[in-house]
Amino acid sequence: MKFIVSSSLLLKQLQAISGVLSANNTLPILDNFLFDMSDSEIQISASDLETTMTARINVDMAEGEGSVAITAKMLLDTLKTFSDIPVTLDIDPENFGVTLTAGEGKYRLAGHNGEEYPQVPPIEKAVTVSIESDILYQAISKTIFAASNDDLRPVMAGVFCELAKEGITFVATDAHKLVRYRRTDVKASKTASLILPKKPLNQLRQILAHDNMPVEIEYGDTNARFTFKNIIMTCRLIEGKYPNYSAVIPSNNPNKMTVDRQPFMNAIRRVSIFSNQTTYQVKFKIAGSELLLSAEDLDYSNEAHERLSCHYDGSDLEIGFNSKFMVEMLNNLGTDQVMLEMSEPNRAGLIIPVDNDNKDEDILMLVMPVMLGN
């Protein structure tokens, strides 16, 4: 088996799928890329058992058919050293040894029988929906940061996706903050809900950031498959029942504050430097058209106060929030102004973008308060 391909093309495709490779594989074969050769097309796969990414590339010349697993790190490190030149990979069908020839150099890598590589699981009773890549990118980017890192609660360590005829909804929460992202310009033929793991979603986000294209999503009970351009990604869904997120979103919020997002976020950043580095608590004191932000760290005698103008409709209020969560949320909104809806100092606050240009997009962010000391 033998093929010739551009070194930069091969490297670009390998880098696109290499993110799914794990440093602690239970199967040694998963430290390799799988190359499947047929006609003039090569199919390259990377997997960690939970997620498999496959890229198809057309090569300049191919001889023979078959599959071989090639050490990922060594192949990537070698290709990075080349300028854009043709490289030849010649595979010995007897021992799967790989000879890589580029310019005046010749390099030998140990290969393995591709038959030992785990097969991608089929998706049974698959339902398909098509989403434009920029919409999917926004849905992932606006929610994934709010997903939990707690392995003891695996359902919250993913992003919940609801597909319906009315539109799609992505939700992520870690019990301290919650983000709900809705789109009404994407319809699904059949109502379904799935919990997508963070690792494959991060991989998708990195690739989708660069191109605008339709993404076909197929999903069943246990797996989902994303197909776009020359790449296919299959991932195992997180099993379990997602918490009833609607129940925690407060509906009666009489206190509403509208403020310029960027100055608001920068002020929180500055004041939080002086906050307790365990709670990151910043106190909001709102009265009239004035917001007073304050933070203190009694252990080190640090404190900060900053005044901002705002538009406020409601009763005078003092409430504390974790500044890290607030900055994270504000940073993931794109509007010039945001509205903070609140009711009581011990009830969740809602952050909603003001004058969103995209009428098909509905974003709601929830943040739990930090109890203020006397």
Token readout for 19 is 């993110």
Query: Per-residue confidence at 373, pLDDT binned at 50, 70, 90?
Result: low
Do 138 and 79 reside in the same domain of the chain? Answer: no
* pLDDT for the residue 371: 86
Do 264 and 308 reside in the same domain of the chain? Answer: yes
Do 159 and 269 reside in the same domain of the chain? Answer: no
* pLDDT for the residue 250: 94
Per-residue pLDDT at 18 exceeds 90? yes
Do 224 and 282 reside in the same domain of the chain? Answer: no
Do 153 and 235 reside in the same domain of the chain? Answer: yes
* Half-sphere CA count of 185, side-chain side, radius 13 A: 12
Query: Per-residue confidence at 200, pLDDT binned at 50, 70, 90?
Result: very high
Do 150 and 174 reside in the same domain of the chain? Answer: yes
Give the start-end residues of each E strand in 1-147. 2-6, 32-38, 41-47, 51-58, 61-63, 66-71, 86-91, 98-102, 105-109, 111-113, 127-132
Q: What is the pLDDT of residues 330-348, one digit of tens each?
A: 999 999 999 999 999 999 9
Residue span of the structural domain in which 298 resides: 249-367
Per-residue pLDDT at 374 exceeds 80? no
| Contact predicate 291/308, CB 8 Å | yes
CATH number for the domain spanning 288: value is: 3.10.150.10
**Strand partners of residue 112:** 69
**DSSP assignment of 172-224:** EE-SSEEEEEEESS---SS-EEEEEEHHHHHHHHHHHTT---EEEEEE-SSEE
Q: What is the mean pLDDT of residues 100-104?
A: 94
Task: Identify the domain boundary among 229, 246, 263.
Answer: 246
Tell me if 122 is assigned to some domain: no
Tell me if 373 is assigned to some domain: no
pTM: 0.91
Query: Per-residue confidence at 249, pLDDT binned at 50, 70, 90?
Result: very high
Query: Per-residue confidence at 187, pLDDT binned at 50, 70, 90?
Result: confident
- Number of domains forming the structure of the chain: 3
Tell me if 374 is assigned to some domain: no
**Strand partners of residue 47:** 52
Q: What is the mean pLDDT of residues 20-24?
A: 91
